[in-house]
């Protein structure tokens, strides 16, 4: 009897799986008919767009500055798969400054690109359906407000760095149109980053239904919006639309519409260091860091632009100053290329010090689930500690003192810290490069000098984080002589 019951249960389960597979295929087929995608192998749409400067704005969270994309054009060849996005980019102008001149930008997504770039294709309504058809999707129902959705979820063949599968979920409304596609991708700061793309105001373009408004949110912040005025299916000029010009003709770089961090994918360069004073070491080979020895611990200024760099800074610090724990790592400002190396320090148990304007974002980001990232912080299972600096914080013992100061009225970031070592007469700064010969001075440099004078900081040397810089600390005279635009 028990054998008969077991066989019956297996049969029922098999029938349920078969029925579910048939149901999800029917939902995908209905959505394909509603969108009119039969025979669709490529698409081109155009209009105007704006991209929020996610991770690089003056404020790190809500209220992102945005770059307008005029003559926005987006072509997708699903057969490769590949895409190309072009237009004229108008970056945001600092307060009181003239509107910048438009510059060409040209973003190509190639067939061999990683998932973080390829997902731009697969989260489109048409790409989502193609991906679902080629995989083993699942189906569930979900009611949001007054709308009952059929939610189709599928996973690509490629896996996240942790080995976990990615998930792409499409919300199909009762008319068979895709209102939203969501996914989660690895991010070195925010962990499993939620990316959702919302499609609305569908119109018929020669039998193909397409949204005329597209919006994207990353961790709840709107980072991309487009108003679409023209859509063409299987455009006859696809080859021209997909052909990128030679590098020599390209005037602008690509804008990442997903989760990539500038410099995060690069490996760590060869690390070297130099002694600036007893117990103070300048670590080079990437974004410059400073390791400062106290009586029973170490403070590191600047964690680096990626995990590899963060690990390299930690290793060099331990070599220079053995047998002392890294108690603090100071984040000069929250721009992602300066914060993507913090996770290894958090995994070490170091307290992250950042400007108080960044504290909430950084704390929530580093404490988010990291099931996709597979980095040392995820493996450590530590709960990061983040402390905010309100105007000024002093780290001191019998050995030395470090003063951390908030910079006021800075257009570049409202969460910028500088570090001052009064005994060694050293100032540590990020993103205040001296101009190359023949180049104009960034107005931020004048703001830095104004803050130095307000705070009455007296120093001889300035250690700068960012390349390109002289491969040495610069002098106070260097800084003050180049402060005027």
The values of phi and psi at residue 362, to 5°, are: -65, -40
Q: What is the pLDDT along the chain (485 residues), one digit of tens a residue?
A: 555 544 544 443 433 444 556 799 999 999 999 999 999 999 999 999 999 889 988 889 877 888 999 999 999 999 999 999 999 999 887 665 677 788 888 999 999 999 999 999 999 999 999 999 999 999 999 999 999 999 999 999 999 999 999 999 999 999 999 999 999 999 999 999 999 999 999 999 999 999 999 999 999 899 999 999 999 999 999 999 999 776 534 444 434 544 456 655 555 568 899 999 999 999 998 899 999 999 999 999 999 999 999 999 999 999 999 999 999 999 999 999 999 999 999 999 999 999 999 999 999 999 999 999 999 999 999 999 999 999 999 999 999 999 999 999 998 899 999 999 999 999 999 988 777 666 666 788 889 999 999 999 999 999 999 865 556 678 888 777 766 55
Short-list 371, 370, 290, 372, CA closest to 331: 290
Q: Which residues pair with 47 in a beta bridge?
A: 72, 228
For residue 161, give the nearest of 265, 258, 80, 81 by alpha carbon.
265
In angstroms, the CA 45 to CA 292 distance is 54
**Rounded to two decimals, what is the model's pTM?**
0.88
Q: Is the dihedral of CA 133, 138, 139, 144 positive or negative?
A: negative
pLDDT in tens, 131-140: 999 999 999 9
Strands (E) across 302-422 are located at 325-330, 351-355, 386-389, 392-396, 401-406, 417-421
Q: What are phi and psi of 54, to 5 degrees?
A: -60, 120
pLDDT digits (tens, 9 = 90+) for 35-72: 999 999 999 999 999 998 899 888 898 778 889 999 99
According to CATH, the topology of domain 17-249 is: outer membrane lipoprotein receptor (LolB), chain A (2.50.20)
State how far the Cα of 43 lies from the Cα of 33, in Å rounded to an integer.
16
d(CA 343, CA 384): 8
Percent of the chain with pLDDT over 70: 86
Q: Give the span between the Cα atoms of 277 and 425, in whole angstroms.
A: 10
The candidate with the shortest Cα–Cα distance to 312, out of 285, 331, 339, 292, is: 285
Q: Options 3.40.50.360, 3.40.960.10, 3.60.15.10, 3.60.130.10; which CATH number does 272-481 get?
A: 3.60.15.10
| Domain ranges for the chain | 17-249, 272-481
């Amino acid at each position: 009897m028990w054998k008969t019951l077991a066989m019956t249960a297996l049969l029922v389960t098999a029938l349920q799986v078969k029925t579910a597979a048939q149901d999800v295929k029917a939902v995908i087929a209905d959505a394909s008919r509603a969108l009119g995608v039969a025979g669709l192998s490529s698409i081109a749409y155009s209009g105007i767009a704006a991209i929020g400067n996610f991770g690089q704005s003056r404020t790190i969270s809500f209220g992102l500055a945005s770059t307008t994309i005029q003559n926005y054009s987006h072509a997708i060849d699903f057969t490769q798969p590949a895409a190309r996005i072009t237009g004229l980019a108008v970056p945001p102008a600092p307060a009181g400054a003239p509107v910048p001149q438009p510059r060409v930008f040209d973003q190509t997504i190639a067939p061999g690109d990683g998932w973080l770039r390829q997902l731009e294709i697969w989260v489109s309504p048409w790409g989502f359906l193609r991906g679902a058809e080629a995989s083993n999707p699942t189906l569930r129902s979900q009611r949001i407000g007054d709308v009952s959705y059929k939610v189709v979820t599928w996973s690509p063949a490629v896996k996240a760095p942790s080995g976990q599968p990615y998930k792409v979920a499409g919300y199909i409304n009762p008319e068979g149109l895709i209102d939203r596609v969501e996914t989660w991708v690895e991010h070195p700061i925010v962990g499993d980053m939620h990316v959702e793309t919302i499609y609305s105001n569908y119109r018929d373009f020669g039998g193909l239904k397409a949204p005329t408004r597209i919006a994207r949110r990353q961790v709840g912040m709107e980072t991309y919006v487009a108003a679409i005025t023209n859509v063409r299916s299987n455009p006859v000029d696809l080859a021209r639309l997909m052909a990128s010009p030679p590098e020599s003709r390209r005037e602008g770089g690509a804008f990442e519409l997903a989760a990539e961090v500038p410099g995060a994918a690069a490996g760590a360069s060869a690390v070297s260091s130099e002694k600036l004073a007893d117990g103070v070491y300048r670590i080079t080979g990437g974004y410059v860091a400073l390791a400062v020895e106290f009586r029973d611990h170490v403070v590191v200024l600047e964690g680096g632009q990626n995990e590899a760099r963060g690990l390299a800074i930690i290793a060099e610090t331990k070599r220079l100053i053995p047998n002392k724990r890294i108690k603090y790592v100071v984040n000069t400002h929250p721009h992602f290329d300066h914060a993507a190396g913090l996770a290894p320090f958090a995994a070490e148990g170091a307290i992250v010090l950042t400007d108080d304007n960044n504290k909430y974002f950084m704390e929530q980001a580093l404490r988010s689930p990291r099931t996709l990232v597979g980095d040392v912080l995820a493996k450590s299972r530590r709960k990061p500690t983040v402390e905010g600096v309100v105007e000024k914080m002093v780290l001191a013992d019998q050995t030395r003192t470090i003063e951390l100061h908030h910079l006021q009225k800075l257009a570049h970031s409202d969460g910028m810290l500088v570090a001052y070592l009064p005994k060694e007469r050293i100032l540590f700064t990020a993103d205040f490069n001296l101009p190359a010969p023949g180049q104009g001075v960034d107005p931020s440099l004048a703001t830095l000098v104004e803050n130095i004078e307000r705070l009455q900081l007296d120093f001889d040397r300035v250690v700068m984080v960012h390349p390109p810089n002289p491969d040495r600390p610069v002098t106070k005279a260097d800084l003050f002589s180049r402060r005027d635009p």
